[in-house]
Amino acid sequence: MSQITHHIPESMLIAYAAGSLPRPFALAVAAHISLCDDCRVGLGAHEAVGGTLLNEQPVQMVSDSMKEALFAQLDDTPLPEPDPAFERSGVFPGPVMQALNGKPPRWKSVGGGVRQTLLHWGDDGSTRLLYIPPGKAVPDHGHNGIELTLVLQGAFSDETGRFGVGDIEVADDTLEHTPVAEPGAPCICLAATDAPLRFNSLIPRLLQPLLRI
């Protein structure tokens, strides 16, 4: 694996540790952490701080009747089945395999040789896998929110620099860019957004509702 030089912002690590990061971003962060020793250590530190803060909170006394009612509810509520744990498969880390339910990606063409597999789409945003052939580009676009792009195979370059395996690009509404896959292996990325992209060309804009980009 290439050396990772682009990491998760500290604010996102803190939100992930607190369990408050939106689902699309949480998957991208979990996948990056599985590849990045530095961010995994940083996450552990934030979780330790959070645990210390919880332990230092003052104890709130409740009545016996309230405790009995709570325990009764717990007894009557079946425990949820734990999510199955998936191991890394090929270039896909465990968190991505979990999103795929352990199955290979089902690639669909989005034009220009680029393909995608939609993992999640909802009010909180979307997460998808992108397959970009060597030398091909994702159409020039901007952002209406935040986009996290984690490289799982190959590499791409854009106006901000080069991103190899394990690197994660954080793009906001100030960035207009045209990511281009490097020669060699196809570039496979995990992309998470909290708002639709802002394409500059007509055809991508027309296809956008169908592709849920």
List the pLDDT tens digit at each of the 213 positions of the chain. Answer: 458 999 999 999 999 999 999 999 999 999 999 999 999 999 999 988 755 655 556 766 667 787 777 777 777 767 666 666 788 999 999 999 999 999 999 999 988 899 999 999 999 999 999 999 999 999 889 989 999 999 999 999 999 999 999 999 999 999 999 999 999 999 999 999 999 888 877 777 777 777 777
CB 133: neighbour CB atoms within 10 A? Answer: 15
Instruction: Please report the DSSP string for 59-123 in residue order.
Output: PPP--HHHHHHHHHHHHHSPPPPPPPP---BTTB-HHHHHHTTTS----EEEETTEEEEEEEEET
Number of domains in the chain: 1
CB 31: neighbour CB atoms within 10 A? Answer: 26
Residue 65 in tokens: 């009747």
pLDDT value at residue 2: 53
| Cα 163 to Cα 150: distance, rounded to the nearest angstrom | 8
Residue 92 in tokens: 């896909």
What is the torsional sign of CA 29, 35, 39, 44? positive
pLDDT value at residue 81: 63
DSSP structure class, residue 174:
T
Q: Which of 157, 135, 141, 137 is nearest to 193 (CA)?
A: 141
What CATH number did the domain enclosing 43 receive? 2.60.120.10
pLDDT value at residue 73: 76
pLDDT value at residue 39: 95
Q: Which of 20, 208, 211, 206 is nearest to 124 (CA)?
A: 20
- Domain span at residue 196 reads 1-213
pLDDT value at residue 198: 83
| Cα 12 to Cα 26: distance, rounded to the nearest angstrom | 9
The helix/strand/coil state of 150 is strand
